[in-house]
Amino acid sequence: MKESSMKLGEPERDGQLSMRFARGGPRRGAGRKGIGETKKISLTLAPGTWEELERRCGEAGVSRSELLRSIIEAVLTPEVPAVKGEN
């Protein structure tokens, strides 16, 4: 590797030095944007419930996170009040 193809990057945070290549590599702001704040949780369910969760994930073609997120949002999202005159 040629010496000119690599440089020492300025630290973005104190004490963080990095090697930077002249081309390629990660860029600030690149990549898919997050859909919200990530918090990891531990969830204890009965084996039968896990099996049903996995079955429904497979049926819908989604991950556990996606299915659980949609279930939680469906329960916690406030209902839109009905327009007067609608049933």
Per-residue pLDDT of the chain (87 residues; tens, 9 = 90+): 555 566 656 666 666 656 666 666 677 777 777 778 888 999 999 999 999 999 999 999 999 999 999 999 999 988 777 777 665
Distances (CA, A) of 2 to 5, 10, 18, 21: 6, 20, 17, 11
pTM of the model: 0.53
Structure tokens at 34: 């997050």
CA angle 66-70-76, nearest 5°? 140
Whether residue 21 contacts residue 6, with contact meaning beta carbons closer than 8 Å, is answered with yes
Which pLDDT score, from 0 to 100, does residue 63 have?
A: 96
Q: What is the pLDDT of residue 49?
A: 97
Query: Distance between CA atoms of 17 and 43, rounded to whole angstroms?
Result: 38
